[in-house]
Amino acid sequence: MSIRKKKILKSLKDITGEGTKLEESKKSKEHKQKEYFKILLEDLEQLLSNSNTLLTLGVDLSIYEDLHFKVIEQIVCEHYGEAQGILVFWWVNSKIENPSAPRVVKNNEGKEYKITTPNQLWNFIKKYTQTNA
Domain boundaries, the chain: 24-131
pTM over 0.85? The answer is no
Spatial distance between the Cα atoms of 96 and 119, rounded to a whole number of angstroms: 18
Residue 41: the pLDDT is 95
Strands annotated E in the chain: 103-106, 112-115
pLDDT of residue 77 exceeding 90:
yes
Residue 43: the pLDDT is 95
Can you tell me the mean pLDDT for 75-93? Answer: 93
Residue 1: the pLDDT is 66
CB of 101 closer than 8 Å to CB of 122:
no
Spatial distance between the Cα atoms of 51 and 37, rounded to a whole number of angstroms: 21
Per residue in 5-32, pLDDT (tens digit) is 788 777 877 887 777 776 788 999 999 9
Give the three-class secondary structure for 79: helix
Spatial distance between the Cα atoms of 113 and 94, rounded to a whole number of angstroms: 15
